[in-house]
Structure 1
């Protein structure tokens, strides 16, 4: 259970010392609460995955419409990252995460009450705002509250947290959709309750002033520091490849399982798709000692193989191939995401880490927002099978491009730079940030 402490913190302001007394979570509890916010980003993203087919059946929606419902989410995330990507570097991680959790709560509540398709678009837009505001800051907070002092531990926990949120959304969503009353609503009432609880504990995170921040917030496009741009390019390809898996799993996965693999049970289909998340979490734990370059190469290769298996599963209507594809792509996602975070955690100065991570997420969500409606339109016009072949081909191409970059450019250790601060990015004397 998260622990709290009544702390008195000294801060140097205008040459004098002021004392602040507040009830805050300790560093370990703050680390795990921040990881919970990371988990919420994938649970929120995946929450409607098992209800898309029911929406289509109940409200007579085409594949294009369901893909657009999915796509509005990453499109809004991109917009938020463009406008507010550096917000947490200026007003603090805690304040930014609270704003994001509030938006996510509204999105879940609207889905729980939705009477028609127009409400789904509004709800997913609020969820996009929530995830756009919390994705970068929560990951940065996990790095900064990391007690181990090694960026790899923070990257592993962030990856495992995403996997846990993803798996919970698919398994819980599948079970409630298949067996519980109100299949289009109950799962979102549960999500709204969990987000409200997470908001409550996030409120007690320390108010930390970030290095190098002065003044209030001004809009700025998130970007990578000049010295870290080579590393950022490699990390961006890895992150983009990882995130495009979400289109196949979240947007089309339930329909693929039901229509092409011919599995009628929503819980079984959700559980098979959740293998993606379970493998992601397991691999992230097993890969703790794996060199970053090796992890990226292995992740890209696993991703390419997974896409081949997914295409084969639709051709042969084979559940075993579908299960293997879910497991292989989960391993690929985990290694690609983990290695991308490793690269950025080592390369980005602490005072620019929030906006650098936001820039990384921006590219990933932009790719998802572009790919989802394209595949939805192809599925409507030419059939779901053609959309699957196109999607798996594109993601396989991204995988092998990432593999080539990792082999050709390498992932060199970033030179020591006093502006980067400690590996965890935690200032020696944190000051409250009003």
Structure 2
């Protein structure tokens, strides 16, 4: 089996550029996963499909992510960080090409699946690489750098696409052409990065199992429920918020719709960063309550047709989602046996990416039957209820364990 050395090539010199380069690779690759967000309404008009199809196109992203997590979640530990980072960049580039060439639904689906595969490959790989490439004096900040790169990339995707689609020529072509240019740059950076994994033979690439042992379920269940609520909200904003803004708020500016999604992800990063020192269970309960408050504001925005309320709701929702997400990962990690930690964390992420896709398709179906406003309000209420259930479970569970 391969052996891993935490800092194989660069520990002594203390250079910071590999850390920043790895963060740039992570961020740019994640940009591609949300780049289509403000463009779905344009695709609807061009190819003549409705809300249900839009949400299904979006949801295929999760299929790619889950497949990558299950099939190659540990491959970077065996073949090295750089090969897997290059694979993620290449998959992202192929996704952009699929969108560039799209003349109908088939290539949209292909592009989303490839984007999901890219995200599934890079998330664990880049996070590990950033931690391993950090100079000793910056090692404590490495997880924060990974969080900012991840959420920053996710937030910048809609913002970049919205601005280019609104103000540049060829709105369905220019965002992906720019994305390919950025990917070419970070592809070069990957080639320059030191390798932090020393590989020895034989290398056995096997799919990863996903099971949650009984000893970890007390932490896993509330964490998974809270994470489900938070990621369902991310799915809603990134799949249908531009359509909501156009049809319910009368706001057709594509750049503005991208900005709203950017605000959500920026708030999520802030929620994760500002609660680093708050204990997992307390942070999870607080995040669920904040998320519920954000859903109330989003529902009110839809009923009142208020853009201001929607933006405020996005900020509050993002903070709550970020708090809950960080706490969920922390709780599951702390309550897992070291030899099972990767497996249990993968199980959590499978739940999260189911949450980012399946409920959104339900919103699309309900919107077609009852209208966007009703679908959005029902979704907000359901997410709020699920988040409160998680808050109750996480506050009651320690007391039950003491009995």
Give the alignment partner of residue 193 of structure 1, picking from 169, 174, 181. 181
Question: Greater helix percent: which structure?
Answer: 2
Greater Cα shift, 360-369 or 61-70: 360-369
Q: Which residue of 2 aligns with 1:206?
A: 195
Alignment match of 2:307 (pick from 319, 334, 356): 319
Task: State the shift of 1:26 in Å.
Answer: 6.5
State the shift of 1:367 in Å: 1.9
Distance in 2 (alpha carbons) for counterparts of 1:67 and 1:164: 23
CA distance in 2, matches of 1:329, 1:25: 42
Once residues 174 and 185 of structure 1 are traced to their aligned partners in structure 2, the CA distance between those partners, rounded to angstroms, is 12
CA distance in 2, matches of 1:227, 1:37: 37
CA contact (8 A) 2:18 2:134 kept: no
Tell me the distance in 2 between the aligned counterparts of 1:341 and 1:29. Answer: 28
Match for residue 367 of structure 1? 355
Report how far residue 145 of structure 1 moved.
Answer: 4.4
- Say yes or no: does 1:286 pair with 2:274: yes
1:67 positional shift: 1.0
Cα deviation for residue 27 of structure 1 reads 6.9
Equivalent position SS for 2:37 = coil
Query: SS where residue 51 of structure 1 aligns?
Result: helix
Query: CA deviation digits over 1:232-273, x for unaligned, max 9?
Result: 444333332321112211011111111112212121222223
Paired position in structure 2 for 1:60: 48
- Equivalent in 90, 114, 122 of residue 126 of structure 1: 114
Coordinate RMSD, CA, aligned: 3.3
* Map of 1:420 onto structure 2: none
Answer whether contact 2:14 2:135 (CA < 8 A) is retained.
no
Aligned to 2:86: 98
Instruction: Please list every run of at least 4 consecutive aligned residues from structure 1 whose deviation after the TM superposition is greater than 6 angstroms.
Output: 24-27, 148-152
After superposition, the Cα gap between the structure-2 partners of 1:91 and 1:40, relative to the gap in structure 1 and judged at 3 Å, is same
Cα distance, 1:310 vs structure 2: 0.8
1:264 is matched with 252
Q: Structure 1: which 5+ residue stretches go unaligned? A: 1-10, 14-19, 412-434
Would the alpha carbon gap of residues 12 and 284 (structure 1) be closer, same or farther in structure 2, given more than 3 Å must change? closer
- Tell me what 1:329 maps to: 317
Distance 1:103 1:179 in 2: 28
- 1:71 is the counterpart of 2:59: yes
* Structure 1 residue 366 displacement after superposition: 1.4
Query: After superposition, what is the alpha-carbon deviation per residue over 1:12-54, rounded to whole angstroms, capped at 9, x for unaligned?
Result: 99xxxxxx989x9967444434434443464232110100011
TM-score w.r.t. length of structure 2? 0.86
Residue of structure 2 equivalent to 1:432: none
The answer for the alignment partner of 1:408 in structure 2 is 396
| Kept in 2: contact 1:151–1:342 (CA 8 A) | no
Partner residue in 2 for 1:343: 331
The whole-number CA distance in structure 1 between the counterparts of 2:51 and 2:299 is 19
> Equivalent residues in 2 for 1:14-413 (5 A)?
28-40=16-28, 42-145=30-133, 153-203=141-191, 204-209=193-198, 215-223=203-211, 228-347=216-335, 354-410=342-398
Instruction: Give yes or no for contact 1:53–1:254 (8 Å, CA) kept in 2.
Output: yes
Q: TM-score, normalised by structure 1?
A: 0.80
Aligned residues: 394
Distance 2:332 2:21 in 1: 22
Asked whether the equivalents of residues 9 and 195 of structure 2 are also in contact (C-alpha less than 8 Å), the reply is: no
